[in-house]
Amino acid sequence: MLIIPVKEGENIDRALKRYKRKFDRTKTMRQLRSRKQFTKPSVANRAQRIKAAYVQRLRTQEEIG
């Protein structure tokens, strides 16, 4: 559970903004979305390899050109 201490006289919008930032950093929504559906380990590994190849291709193109 996230606890955001609100200081005396602090604007509620500022406290809400701190809460949202802290919530995003915990990656809670990303976990919930990933748990909604099961992906087989082989599919996850394949996607990870495709992403790594894409990033590598971008880096080599950056070095060349």
Q: How confident is the model at residue 56 (pLDDT cuts 50, 70, 90)?
A: very high
* Whole-model pTM over 0.75: no
pLDDT at 2: 86
* Tens of pLDDT, residues 6-43: 989 999 999 999 999 999 999 999 899 989 999 999 99
| Distance between CA atoms of residues 44 and 37, nearest Å | 12
